[in-house]
A = this chain, B = another copy of it.
Amino acid sequence: MSYLDRIRACNKRDMSRYRPFTVGGVHVGYVRTDAVKLLAPYAETFEVSERAVALNSNFGDFESRTAAIDQVLREINKLGVMSGWRDEPYAVTAAFGAPALFIMERAAVPLFGVRAYGVHMNGYVRKNGKYFMWIGRRSRHKQTYPSMLDNMVAGGLPYGLTAQECLIKECDEEAAIPKSLAARAMAVSAVTYCAETPEGLRPDVQYCFDLEFPSYFQPMPRDGEIETFTLMPIDEVAAIVRETDQFKFNCNLVIIDFLVRHGLIGPDDPDYVAIVQGLHQ
């Protein structure tokens, strides 16, 4: 395996298995063929054709779209086909920064292949010029990717919060990082990819933050999302990324981006340009 293989894995998909999902004539996502069958019975809400899935145009505004979709999702969730129900509102927009067309339960986002936004933070320590990175292990009870390795702090960007606000909130909830410290996290990049996951298509944007910690700081699991935190030498982290499947798929990209920005992967790597381009495709 190589860094490039990790990037490829986050962009592997068979689009012939998806139908475009449109709302008010705007293409906002992709529904996988097997999920289309789940929506078909709700003909008053979803107009399912051979070529696309469209929200019924009767639902013409934010409130009615949100309510109509929510109702169907609660029914579908009873079938156990979603990865749980998180009660996290996701804003679906026509384009980044555009007004929300409607709000959708986060767990349903991949089912509709809607672009989702999240925040991921590289927490690191420098000792004698060497980098160490705080790595979290996800709870064995997580609905998604249980027990896998994760960035120190990460989370989906809910409706109404900026990326920075969301990160500060997640820092507190996941790792008991005080606000005064979390506020120093610096937005440094965004990784983008379009992955086919068991839940559905994920054409995601993950905003990346870096935060250098003092060596005495010890993160603490708080909300149970992360079970343990370990400070690892960066070479060890890089080897895990390169050679194993231990990290949740998209965390690999966030770490590779860190390695590039901190000169730990350099132009002498024959894959350098492909890596840099691949992180932002």
Contact = CB atoms under 8 A, between A and B. Distances in A.
A48 interface: no
A107 interface: no
A25 interface: no
Given A162-B267, A279-B280, A262 B205 contact: no
A260 B188 contact: yes
A255 interface: no
A120 to B, nearest CB: 12
A205 B271 CA distance: 13
By DSSP majority rule, is chain A's interface helix, strand, loop, or mixed?
A: mixed
A187 B281 contact: no
Interface string A189-210: 1101000000000000101000
Given A162-B267, A207-B267, A267-B207, A276 B190 contact: yes
A273 B205 contact: yes
Interface string A143-185: 0000000000000000000111000000000000000000000
Contact of A270 (B96, B207, B267): B96
A188 B259 CA distance: 9
A170 to B, nearest CB: 14
Contact of A280 (B163, B188, B277): B277
B97 A192 contact: no
A156 to B, nearest CB: 14
A163 B267 contact: yes
Contacts of A190: 267, 272-273, 276
A260 B97 CA distance: 18
A50 interface: no
A37 interface: no
A268 B165 CA distance: 11
A99 to B, nearest CB: 12
Given A97-B270, A188-B260, 10 more contacts: A96-B272, A96-B274, A162-B267, A164-B266, A187-B267, A188-B262, A189-B260, A190-B276, A192-B277, A277-B281
